[in-house]
Amino acid sequence: MDSASASGTGESAANTSPGRDTTDTEYARCDMVERQLRKRDIRSQRVLEAMASVPRHLFVRPELAAEAYADSPLPIGGGQTISQPYMVAAMAEALALEGNEKVLEVGAGSGYQAAVLSLLAREVIAVESLAILADSARARLARMGYVNVRVEFGDGSEGWPADAPYDAILVTAGAPSIPPPLIEQLSEGGRLVIPVGPPAQQDLVRVVKRNGHALQETLFACRFVPLLGKFGWPPGAGAAEPSRG
């Protein structure tokens, strides 16, 4: 669910295939990494390699495959969109993953962000509040062979207690405040990255849990769809650019 305050070229891939990877889509993905990520200060080589690996065009509707590598969100159904590539990379980088972590993602959407995280962590549990998106993301990720990702249907504002604690938690929706259950489900030394603020604009916040306390820092301004649920906004809260992973 992302839409960040980031500008870019808006260029898209030509002749992309909706069902497989091709020379054109590989080129478009490499171009996306260079123009939209590396040149905009995404420094983690692991994140850049993950973004260059995941075939983004397979996470969008076939008729939008040619726009998959553009510098913008794209609709995925249910009134939601796949995240802007830069935001996917920036949030993944902010988690500082080393490869052995168990990660919770709140807001699975298309499954794209979870696929990227799966290449950076040991295990990913993605919670999605829209059943239609949860079902499609689960099937897509399984079909594509992302075996260390599990998609669950539920209220992500409450986290996913069954598999807690988590080494890292990523929330792809804007919250009015940091949901207490997410802090509770974060392991010692764990990182939580979440947009916090009013529906029109939020700050992307990183929280590190040390000695049971939540140490908070603001990374940059962003705009996300509202986080709904028990610890989120009430239904009907609006945002300019609804999007999901």
Catalytic residues: 83
Cα 86 → chain centroid: 10
Give the Cα separation of 239 and 218 in Å (integer): 20
Give the Cα separation of 174 and 226 in Å (integer): 5
Residue 56 amino acid letter: R
Give the Cα separation of 48 and 17 in Å (integer): 22
Give 61's Cβ-side CA count (13 Å radius): 11
Residues sharing a CB contact under 8 Å with residue 173, sequence separation 6 or more, in sequence order: 1, 106, 107, 156, 195, 224, 225, 226, 227, 228, 232, 244
